[in-house]
Amino acid sequence: MSIRTALVTGASGGIGVAIVERLRANGLKVIRLDVSGPCDLKLDISRDTLPADVFGSVDICVANAAIVDTMAAAHKMSLAQWSRDIDVNLTGSFRVIQACLVGMRARRWGRVIAISSVAGHLGAPGQIAYAASKSGLQGLMRTVAIENTSHGITANCVLPGLVATPKALAMPDDIRERAIAAIPAGRFAEPAEIAHLTAFLASEEASYITAQEIEIDGGMSLTSFSLRPPRPVSPT
């Protein structure tokens, strides 16, 4: 059997690096895509032309690229802030997946994995665009699964909670401590744990798993948590 080719977007970020390493360890050829940092393809998935010769060869598409740091409440978010998240997290992922599906359908084999978030299920106070984009990914992936299962293609979402990426670890100490206290497991996920689940969904053994939204959050979805500081208590 020939070596499968995987494409990972957002490949230079914390989760992306871990996924690339794990897929390579499993013997796959991996194409790293990002807007900056170490990568094989440097482009903006929301607007740049996606080279058909590259995307047509992809057997495993991991849509991981995302903007995570847009902070604004629903009543204050500007259209530019909203569009920034939606254009990359949702539209960009759609464009990449669409470009990869052509070759997958022709070969009648494929794995599509979108790195969504528990925020797509729970919401995320102060991050309405992020939560909406991640929820949209889940509907997108269920539709991809419905349309392509008969072509040997599976499509699944991985929903991490808080992960120990450089950005998460750089949060102010008080917010990070509140976050850890709200997670029943008592810690952030390691990027390698997200990569392990992603690699399984990309494998031959996962051929009967499709249209699933798999939370990997240490029980975070059982609680409520916001990155926003708690509101001050008004004196009575």
Residues forming the active site: 130
Cα dihedral 221, 149, 8, 90, rounded to 10, equals -60
Closest CA to 96 of 45, 134, 141: 45
Q: φ, ψ for residue 38 (rounded to 5)? A: -65, 120
121: left (phi over 0), alpha (psi -120 to 50) or beta: alpha
Cβ contact 90:133 at 8 Å: yes
**Cα distance between residue 173 and residue 141, in whole Å:** 35
DSSP 30: E
Strands 153-160 and 60-63: unpaired
DSSP 51: -
Cα dihedral 178, 184, 188, 192, rounded to 10, equals -170
Residues listed for the chain: 236
